[in-house]
């Protein structure tokens, strides 16, 4: 353990003293600060940091920091569960690997977790720390402005950090129910930014929050919602932003194949298992070993196969067709359906035990009609995407066209919207998308439940916003253009709830649409 150190005996004595000091800590805060101070002193690094995962393993928080020989206090940094722009921490945490960089190149690596100083950080050592169950529960990080050989400290400091975590757990158990438990800082949750999905509506924010809870936890997820709401995209997001991102993601629609073929595709088969089986075939479950298997339309899976899938979920065992032996797999199952599985259970069309095994963590995706402004954002995104595919100039949007789409109920949801955009671009001979390019039933295109007065107010609101935007927010100029006294314009803006934020949002949308 000490072969790479210059004075191993002196280091071992100092290390033992640090263990003794940690064991004598009287509180969680003192224990955390003693750990980072010990790591910094033992290695000669000016910076020591301790990051801890919360109980759900979805938030990584800077718990203690030692800088230039003293505790460094700053607002608790919380890294969201997708670890965006935190690739170094993410690697160490998700891969459970020691990370050592002798030459830290800031142009290659994002290091927002390091404090800003006059000199650049050059050497970095990051160690995963483990709890009693040997799960990664935190990180111990050392950094230096000079090029230091830090790798030789990895094993001993990891032991010291693990010991500190065990002590911290014991202290928290003792402090439970006492006022001193407030000593452990509990920062507000830092929810992620969309995981590559599009939409900022409250309904989608709730979905993002749920996704963040399962990224690094291997629980089975059931995605529900109407057809076309993007269930496979959410499944891919859970895989791509989670701890299995480097492993395979395999998708299979359970309604696309007949029962016998679906069974052989999922579980594989051995040579001679049936007529035409002239060689062994590796099933999708085995192909997804270590990664994620997405089973779309799980409600259409035959009952006989449901029993075999339940075995995989409960025991992690797979037995290919034609084989008498089982083998273990480590695969995460994400299932999806637009059907009511509970009703299918009552009707005997779906196994009750499999239903309860799949619904450990359900995520319901909202229909497009409940996502408000997301319709506008998605429409412009799909239009830009289609224009690039068609190799044509980016089309602009008329406000009336966007208003036309906003009032439609979209029974086919996002999939239907994407198809409507593609068709409209083919019908658009110029460079401006208009309502007539969208073939929407008039009875549906009107906003459901709105009175004539409400519809008139919506038209008036768009008119005022357009005028204010043309005049760059100048209310006097806008009132002059509309032939209104400025006081009347202000009254109408207040009545229609028009704020400066609405103008900024509208400007952003127009920039994105090419106007």
pLDDT band per the 50, 70, 90 thresholds, residue 9: confident
Alpha-carbon Rg for the chain in angstroms: 29
On whether the CB atoms of residues 312 and 271 are closer than 8 A, the answer is no
3-state class of 17 per DSSP? helix
What pLDDT does residue 445 have? 42
**Whole-number mean pLDDT of the chain?**
84
Query: Average pLDDT, stretch 351-364?
Result: 94
On whether the CB atoms of residues 222 and 359 are closer than 8 A, the answer is yes
Q: Please indicate whether residue 175 or residue 396 has the higher confidence score (pLDDT).
A: 396
| Statement: residue 186 has pLDDT above 60 | no
Query: Average pLDDT, stretch 261-288?
Result: 91
For residue range 20-68, what is the model confidence (pLDDT) as tens digits?
999 988 888 999 999 999 999 999 999 999 999 877 666 788 899 999 9
| Statement: residue 192 has pLDDT above 50 | no
Phi, psi of 236, rounded to the nearest 5 degrees: -65, -35
What pLDDT does residue 43 have? 92
Query: What share of the chain in percent tops pLDDT 90?
Result: 45
Per the rule left: phi > 0, alpha: psi between -120 and 50, beta: everything else, 302 is beta
pLDDT band per the 50, 70, 90 thresholds, residue 157: very high
Query: What share of the chain in percent tops pLDDT 70?
Result: 86
Q: Please indicate whether residue 133 or residue 22 has the higher confidence score (pLDDT).
A: 22
What pLDDT does residue 239 have? 92
**What does the DSSP assignment read for 497-514?**
T--HHHHHHHHHHHHHHT
On whether the CB atoms of residues 64 and 183 are closer than 8 A, the answer is no
| H-state helical runs in 110-230 | 154-175, 202-214
Phi, psi of 269, rounded to the nearest 5 degrees: -155, 160
What pLDDT does residue 80 have? 61
pLDDT band per the 50, 70, 90 thresholds, residue 274: confident
| Statement: residue 238 has pLDDT above 90 | yes
Which of the 8 DSSP states describes residue 66? E
Residues of the chain by 3-state class (helix, strand, coil), percent to 5: 45, 15, 40
3-state class of 180 per DSSP? helix
Nearest-angstrom CA–CA distance, 514 and 507: 11
User: Hey, which residues does 101 pair with through a beta bridge?
Assistant: 124
Query: Average pLDDT, stretch 145-171?
Result: 90
**What does the DSSP assignment read for 432-500?**
EE-GGGS---HHHHSPTT--HHHHHHHHHHHHHHHHHHHTTT-HHHHHHHHT--HHHHHHHHHHTT--H
Query: Average pLDDT, stretch 450-459?
Result: 69
Contacts of 451 (CB under 8 A, 6+ apart): none
Query: Average pLDDT, stretch 210-215?
Result: 88
Nearest-angstrom CA–CA distance, 507 and 489: 20
Nearest-angstrom CA–CA distance, 244 and 477: 57
| Statement: residue 78 has pLDDT above 90 | no
For residue range 388-436, what is the model confidence (pLDDT) as tens digits?
888 888 899 988 888 888 888 889 999 999 999 999 999 988 889 998 8
pLDDT band per the 50, 70, 90 thresholds, residue 495: confident
Query: Average pLDDT, stretch 337-361?
Result: 93
What pLDDT does residue 1 have? 59
What pLDDT does residue 151 have? 85
Q: Please indicate whether residue 186 or residue 262 has the higher confidence score (pLDDT).
A: 262
Residue whose tokens read 């006059």: 118
* 78-92, 444-458, 463-477, 495-509: range with lowest mean pLDDT: 444-458
Which domains are present in the chain?
8-183 (3.30.450.40), 202-366 (3.40.50.300), 372-445 (1.10.8.60), 449-515 (1.10.10)
pLDDT band per the 50, 70, 90 thresholds, residue 245: confident
What pLDDT does residue 390 have? 86
| Statement: residue 301 has pLDDT above 60 | yes
pLDDT band per the 50, 70, 90 thresholds, residue 174: confident
| Statement: residue 71 has pLDDT above 60 | yes
What pLDDT does residue 510 have? 55
Question: Strand 317-318 to strand 327-328: parallel, antiparallel, or no bridges (unpaired)?
Answer: antiparallel
On whether the CB atoms of residues 129 and 161 are closer than 8 A, the answer is yes
What pLDDT does residue 468 have? 84
On whether the CB atoms of residues 253 and 294 are closer than 8 A, the answer is no
3-state class of 2 per DSSP? coil
On whether the CB atoms of residues 466 and 428 are closer than 8 A, the answer is no
| Statement: residue 178 has pLDDT above 60 | no
* 30-34, 46-50, 475-479, 489-493: range with lowest mean pLDDT: 489-493
What pLDDT does residue 179 have? 41
How many other C-beta atoms are found inside a 10 Å radius of the C-beta of residue 91? 15
pLDDT band per the 50, 70, 90 thresholds, residue 508: low
Return the top range by mean pLDDT from 69-73, 75-79, 152-156: 152-156
On whether the CB atoms of residues 139 and 89 are closer than 8 A, the answer is yes
On whether the CB atoms of residues 363 and 210 are closer than 8 A, the answer is yes
């Amino acid at each position: 353990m000490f072969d790479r150190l210059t004075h191993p005996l002196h280091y071992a004595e100092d290390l033992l003293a640090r263990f003794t000091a940690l064991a004598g800590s009287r509180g969680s805060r003192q224990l955390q600060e003693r750990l980072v101070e010990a790591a910094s002193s033992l290695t000669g690094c000016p910076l020591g940091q301790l990051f801890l995962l919360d109980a759900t393993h979805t938030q990584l928080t800077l718990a203690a920091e030692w800088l230039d020989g003293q505790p460094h206090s700053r607002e608790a940094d919380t890294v969201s569960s997708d670890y965006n722009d935190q690739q170094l921490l993410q690697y160490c945490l998700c891969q459970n690997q020691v990370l050592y960089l002798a030459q830290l190149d800031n142009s290659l690596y994002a290091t927002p977790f390091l404090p800003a100083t006059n000199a650049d950080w050059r050497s970095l050592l990051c160690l995963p720390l483990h709890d009693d169950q040997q799960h990664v529960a935190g990180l111990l990080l050392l950094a230096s402005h000079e090029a230091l050989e830090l790798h030789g400290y990895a094993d001993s400091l990891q032991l010291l950090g693990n010991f500190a975590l065990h002590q911290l757990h014991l202290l928290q158990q003792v402090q439970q129910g006492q006022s001193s438990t407030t000593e452990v800082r509990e920062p507000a949750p830092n929810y992620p930014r969309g995981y590559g999905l599009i939409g900022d509506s409250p309904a989608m924010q709730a979905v993002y929050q749920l996704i963040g809870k399962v990224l690094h936890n291997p629980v089975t997820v059931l995605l529900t919602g109407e057809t076309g709401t993007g269930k496979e995209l959410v499944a891919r997001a859970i895989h791509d932003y989670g701890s299995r991102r480097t492993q395979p993601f395999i998708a299979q629609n359970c309604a696309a194949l007949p029962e016998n073929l679906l069974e052989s595709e999922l579980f594989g088969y051995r040579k001679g298992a049936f007529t035409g089986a002239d060689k062994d075939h590796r099933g999708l479950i085995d192909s997804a070993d270590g990664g994620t298997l997405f089973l779309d339309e799980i409600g259409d899976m035959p009952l006989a196969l449901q029993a075999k899938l339940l075995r995989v979920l409960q025991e992690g065992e797979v037995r290919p067709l034609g084989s008498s032996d089982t083998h273990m797999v480590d695969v995460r199952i994400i299932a999806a359906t637009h059907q009511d599985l509970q009703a299918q259970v009552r009707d005997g069309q779906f196994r009750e035990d499999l239903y309860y095994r799949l619904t450990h963590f359900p995520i319901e995706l909202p229909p497009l009609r409940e996502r408000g402004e997301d319709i506008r954002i998605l429409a412009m995104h799909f239009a830009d995407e289609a224009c690039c595919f068609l190799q044509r100039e980016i089309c602009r949007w008329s406000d009336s066209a966007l208003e036309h789409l906003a009032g439609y109920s979209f029974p086919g949801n996002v999939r239907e919207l994407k198809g409507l955009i593609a068709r409209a671009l083919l019908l658009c001979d110029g460079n401006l998308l208009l309502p007539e390019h969208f073939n929407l039933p008039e009875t549906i295109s009107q906003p459901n439940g709105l009175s004539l007065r409400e519809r008139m107010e919506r038209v008036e609101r768009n008119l005022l916003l357009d005028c204010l935007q043309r005049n760059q927010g100048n209310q006097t100029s806008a009132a002059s253009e509309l032939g209104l006294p400025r006081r009347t314009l202000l009254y109408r803006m207040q009545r229609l709830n028009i704020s400066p934020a609405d103008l900024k949002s509208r400007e952003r949308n127009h920039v994105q649409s090419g106007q």
